[in-house]
Structure 1
Amino acid sequence: MMLNSTKLLYNTTMIIGIMVCICSNNWMMMWSGLEISLMSFLPLMISKNLLSSECMMKYFIIQGMSSSMLMLGFMFMLMTIKMSTFFMITSLMLKIGMSPFHNWVLSIIEGLDYSAIFILLTLIKISPLMILAYINILVWIPVMLSLVVGATLGINQNSMRKILGYSSIYNLGFTCSCISEMSLWLIYMMIYSFMLLCVIFMIQKLNVHYLNQIMINDFNLKTKISFWLMMMSFGGVPPMLGFLSKLMLFEFMILNKQILLLLLMMISSLIVMFYYIRSTYMSIMISSILMKWNLLSLSYSLILLTVMNTTVLSILILVKSLY
């Protein structure tokens, strides 16, 4: 569906729903904001993919069930029942697709186009994460499960959509580990959203859906190198932009003496780096006999995102050291 008045209306109301949820000071208005953004996102899921209508129904059922659990948690809170926090946290983890409630994300993501995938993995998750931040309880077991599941199960995936899905589950573990520090997880989500936008833009431009296509199709070397550098940044390899967000979280973990969680984060980061870089490494090796001075003809449109990913971290560290 091209950009038209209907799509503009649904995008606008979805953002209004997110803003209502963020700016509210009572639980009922937060719940209303969640429902507005849900009902606005459902029509945006429709695409030429034959599975899109099935995915839309699955998403509606899952989100409806989690919303009813959230309302039940609010009712229990009014009745001063101790289980209220459990119901609220469980429903919010189900809404964002955090492990162990992550299977619906992987089944839905296969039937969506890439623009809907970007909204599903970034914008839609802001409202539930904000409510989790208001509750301010660190959920240790789901955070560790998300790190392990996102890192290990993404290794044997061939579909780019599934890799992005497992990457989202993995990054949710990072986001929820610092949920008590509002500015920190918001910066992390902003950096993750920017890197995801870069990767999705490149995947759409190359029309790549599976890892095999990157190796089989004869892309020129400048495109392969740009894609490789973006995936390195997505995995958090220094000195890329993706390393900045992980560096902030590692510092936060050390200050709070959460050494076990920090160790798990570092080990899982290595596994995630492996399957990000693997997706482009072989395609670059095929071009190893090419004349390297041909790289001087890089186009400005491709080099812009690469420069942003490689230099922003150094500039930010320099600014921090000056202050």
Structure 2
Amino acid sequence: MIMNSTKLLFNTTMIIGVMVCICSNNWMMMWSGLEISLISFLPLMISSNSLSSESMMKYFIIQSMSSSILMFGLLFMMMMIKFSIFIMTISLLLKIGMAPFHNWVLSVVEGINYESIFILLTLMKISPLMILSYINMIMWMPIILSLIFGAILGINQNSMRKILAYSSIYNLGFTCSCINEMSLWVVYMMIYMFMLICIIFMITKLNICYLNQIMINEFSLKTKICFWLMMMSFGGVPPMLGFLSKLMLFEFMILNNQMMILLIMLISSLIVMFYYIRCTYMCIMISSILMKWNLLTLNYSMIILTLTNILIFSLMISIKSLY
């Protein structure tokens, strides 16, 4: 990315808007922070893609509508109307693109570049999530719908952008399940941001937009293994970093006796792992022209380190269960 003075200005004001929203102690300043970050992000969405202006208009209309609903909720709160919190929650769910208000995310991500997708799926959701944690309203139905829609509807997708969008909807279900524990969802979002930027960096370098490009192009074995390990971590396979965030939420659900949500989380995690592994399984196993017996000539130190990693993780879990 070429960082000129205009992009530097808009990136700075966007971060300032998020910080204003996080650090405010009244509703009007929070709303102002949301609007500052919105108006700063819109010029960053413009790219060489012919659909970028359309995506920018869609994003602007949806965010303006959700901000208007948020203002209505604030007015109703001042008038002491009971369902004002419900209206504010609906507006914030629309703003972050959580199910059942998730359709706009899929059409917006198709027209913007991967750098804007990262900002849209991470940084622009921190402020609404912070306001949701202040509201502290139980919203199990959107959480269940996000887990189900993000897992099931992502299976038949061929576009990497839509896979990342459905993954974001799915992870929002995890994030909002512990929205009343700020330390938990902030750590979860930080880990998710780190994993997402690794995936986006990888697919940007490889210039991948669709799954068939992974199968057709013959990348090096190291590249394939790195991409496979990143996808495994993104899905939450135990030895990887992504499992740590899910383990924290699973323990939180068990402590709060939310077994039904935990069951949906576990089942949907398996479905999500299916389309994460599918991204890399074809290029490593089936569509690869590399002779498979040449894999035996890999460096044995790499294999030993991998086995040690897995065994030490199992050992740590066993030691923890003894206490």
The TM-score normalised by the length of structure 2 is 0.92
Cα distance, 1:147–1:288 mapped onto 2, change above 3 Å: farther
Separation in structure 2 between the aligned mates of residue 200 and residue 96 of structure 1, nearest angstrom: 20
Separation in structure 1 between the aligned mates of residue 297 and residue 203 of structure 2, nearest angstrom: 23
Q: CA deviation at 1:290?
A: 5.1
Match of 1:303 in 2: none
One-letter amino acid of the counterpart of residue 291, structure 1: N
Deviations 1:265-293 (A, max 9, x none): 00000000011001101111134525125
Answer yes or no: is 1:168 the counterpart of 2:168: yes
Answer yes or no: is 1:292 the counterpart of 2:309: no
Deviations 1:73-100 (A, max 9, x none): 0000000001201110000000000000
Moved over 2 A (4+): 292-298
Show the 5 A alignment for 1:100-249.
100-249=100-249
Q: Is the 8 A contact 1:237 1:243 kept in 2?
A: yes
Q: Is the 8 A contact 1:138 1:176 kept in 2?
A: no
Separation in structure 1 between the aligned mates of residue 221 and residue 166 of structure 2, nearest angstrom: 28
Unaligned 5+ residue runs, structure 1? Answer: 299-305
Separation in structure 1 between the aligned mates of residue 75 and residue 92 of structure 2, nearest angstrom: 16
**Equivalent pairs: percent with the same residue?**
73
The TM-score normalised by the length of structure 1 is 0.92
Match of 2:45 in 1: 45
One-letter amino acid of the counterpart of residue 72, structure 1: F
Separation in structure 2 between the aligned mates of residue 215 and residue 30 of structure 1, nearest angstrom: 46
Match of 2:16 in 1: 16
Show the 5 A alignment for 1:49-128.
49-128=49-128
One-letter amino acid of the counterpart of residue 145, structure 1: L
One-letter amino acid of the counterpart of residue 292, structure 1: L
Other structure's SS at 2:49 match = coil
Match of 2:29 in 1: 29
Unaligned 5+ residue runs, structure 2? Answer: none
Match of 2:267 in 1: 267
Q: CA deviation at 1:295?
A: 4.0
One-letter amino acid of the counterpart of residue 208, structure 1: I
Other structure's SS at 2:219 match = coil
Other structure's SS at 1:122 match = helix
Count of aligned pairs: 311
Separation in structure 2 between the aligned mates of residue 183 and residue 288 of structure 1, nearest angstrom: 48
Separation in structure 2 between the aligned mates of residue 252 and residue 288 of structure 1, nearest angstrom: 46
Cα distance, 1:292–1:93 mapped onto 2, change above 3 Å: same
Separation in structure 2 between the aligned mates of residue 96 and residue 189 of structure 1, nearest angstrom: 13
Separation in structure 1 between the aligned mates of residue 160 and residue 39 of structure 2, nearest angstrom: 27
Q: CA deviation at 1:138?
A: 1.8
Other structure's SS at 1:101 match = coil
Q: Is the 8 A contact 1:222 1:295 kept in 2?
A: no
Q: CA deviation at 1:2?
A: 1.9
Separation in structure 2 between the aligned mates of residue 212 and residue 228 of structure 1, nearest angstrom: 16
